[in-house]
Amino acid sequence: MEATELRIGNYTLDHGHPEQIPYGSDIDSVGMMEPIILTEEWVIKFGFERFDFEYEEGDETTYVLEKKNGHQFVLSDTFQPMDGEIAMLDYKLKYVHQLQNLYFALTAQELTIKE
């Protein structure tokens, strides 16, 4: 993980514990941080809802975050960002900070843990 990948508010592992980066100067300590693997638990914490679908071709799971303006932010079961049923990107998100950064880039809003 490089310092250029991080923003204030990103979650990383600091000495093995999930922590949000509170200050820009903390990003300079990236050598002491580790990325957090993106899991279903994390996307649910961020407010995504899991949907399971059954098709003749097989089962499919998606994670959907409803936004206030009625739009949806959708991830496949492999954490690939989707537009409807079509993948938006050629790669899958692997870390929590990547999801946070993509969400911010597309919506200009922070992705935070829902209480």
pLDDT digits (tens, 9 = 90+) for 58-103: 777 889 888 766 678 889 888 988 876 555 667 789 999 999 999 8
| Residue 95: predicted pLDDT | 96
* Phi then psi dihedrals of residue 97, to 5 deg: -65, -30
Apex 10 CA angle, 14 and 18, nearest 5: 35
Q: Report the distance separating Cα 78 and Cα 38, nearest Å.
A: 10
Q: Report the distance separating Cα 32 and Cα 73, nearest Å.
A: 31
| Residue 84: predicted pLDDT | 61
| Residue 88: predicted pLDDT | 64
Query: Model-level pTM greater than 0.75?
Result: yes
For 80, residues 6+ apart whose C-beta sits below 8 A from its C-beta are 87, 88, 89, 91, 92, 93
Domain map of the chain by residue range?
A: 10-107
pLDDT digits (tens, 9 = 90+) for 2-61: 889 999 999 999 888 999 998 888 888 888 899 999 999 999 999 999 998 877 777 778
